[in-house]
Amino acid sequence: MSNHLSSNHATGKKSEYCCEYGSTKYFIYCGLGGMLSCGITHPLMVPIDVIKCRVQVNKQKYKNLVTGFKVTMAEEGARGLVKGWSPTLIGYSLQGFGKFGFYEFFKDFYSKMLGEEKTYLYRTAIYLGAGASAEFLADIALAPFEATKIRIQTQDNWARNLREGMPKFYAEEGFTGFYKGIVPLWFRQIPYTMMKFACFERTVEALYKYVVPKSREQCSKLEQLGVSFVAGYTAGIICAVVSHPADVIVSKLNEKKELTLTQAIQRVGFAGMWQGLGARILMIGTLTALQWFIYDSVKISLAMQPVQSTEQPSDQSSKKDNNHNQNKKI
């Protein structure tokens, strides 16, 4: 979860929250929030995703985002722009549950391993490590749906939807075929998620420190969600750039069943690994911003106990010492 959401808990009691931070129920609710945030936003981006995948696998025909849109509309109509929506909905809902739920779990787990003072000093490493651990597990659920989605989007008349596509994929390549792209998927998603969480957490921290004219505790819920959106979009742009080469390879691999990872890399080449980057920045930036907005909205609506504001333990200790000394003088 974002470290910045506060519910004026300085004066509140545990009974005000639906569950205690770090409890099993808390992590499950985080997973449900992630399921909603990813399950809602990814299907909204399907039209851009369709064009992006087609530009990546057939640059000669689709050329760029604008040309790809025109060609797709001319050949298939509006229906062509929503190809793959069903595997996107189910796949990314499952992935969202794992991504956010496990992120919160691993963040808490690694923090307890290090202790309070080291947690503050190495908080960025914790965000990165928790994001990587969570995404590794979440992609195991995503991979079959992602493979089916790309095949539907890039091969004409292969299948109309998930109900047709997944059994056909299984018949053609077997169960292992769903996971032939798992390694490049990890290479795409793990750096993406590491940046997604770490950049978001640190951007939020910087916004409250240098931009927002009042502390997070003094901000209204709407203002806090506004910070989430801005930080999410910033993180999304960085995520798109970092993970894009692997995204191109995943698209190429799942386009044709006979391609190996090495062959896909050779065919694409270094320059080809950046095809469709503009479309992906637009898609991922918007996607990430909306995901954080929805995720934090869910946590607020469920009255979940927020994470304490990030503050250096030594600062907290010095404040206590100062208060103690002042009381002594009095």
Give the CATH number of the domain where residue 248 resides: 1.50.40.10
Domain residues for the domain of 72 are 19-305
**Is 13 within the bounds of a domain?**
no
**Is 321 within the bounds of a domain?**
no
Burial class (CB in 10 A: 0-12, 13-18, 19+), 85: buried
- Which is more confidently placed, 304 or 234? 234
- pTM recorded for the entire structure: 0.78
**Is 3 within the bounds of a domain?**
no
The fraction of the chain above a pLDDT of 90, given in percent, is 45
Domain count, the chain: 1
**Is 284 within the bounds of a domain?**
yes
- How far apart, in whole angstroms, are the C-alpha atoms of residue 201 and residue 13? 26
- How far apart, in whole angstroms, are the C-alpha atoms of residue 46 and residue 286? 12
**Is 128 within the bounds of a domain?**
yes
323 pLDDT more than 90: no
| Confidence at residue 14, expressed as pLDDT on a 0 to 100 scale | 46
Query: Within 10 Å of residue 140's Cβ, how many Cβ atoms?
Result: 15
**308 band by pLDDT with thresholds 50, 70 and 90:** low
Candidate from 7-21, 91-105, 168-182 with smallest mean pLDDT:
7-21
State the residue for tokens 């195991």. Answer: 140
Taking all residues of the chain, what is their mean pLDDT, rounded to a whole number? 84
Burial class (CB in 10 A: 0-12, 13-18, 19+), 29: buried
**Is 8 within the bounds of a domain?**
no
**Is 11 within the bounds of a domain?**
no
- How far apart, in whole angstroms, are the C-alpha atoms of residue 63 and residue 202? 36
Helix or strand or coil: residue 48? helix
| Confidence at residue 324, expressed as pLDDT on a 0 to 100 scale | 46
Query: Within 10 Å of residue 175's Cβ, how many Cβ atoms?
Result: 9
**Is 9 within the bounds of a domain?**
no
The listed range with the strongest mean pLDDT (158-162, 194-198, 212-216) is 194-198
Query: Within 10 Å of residue 12's Cβ, how many Cβ atoms?
Result: 13
State the residue for tokens 């080469």. Answer: 245
Beta-carbon-side half-sphere exposure of residue 240 (alpha carbons within 13 Å): 24
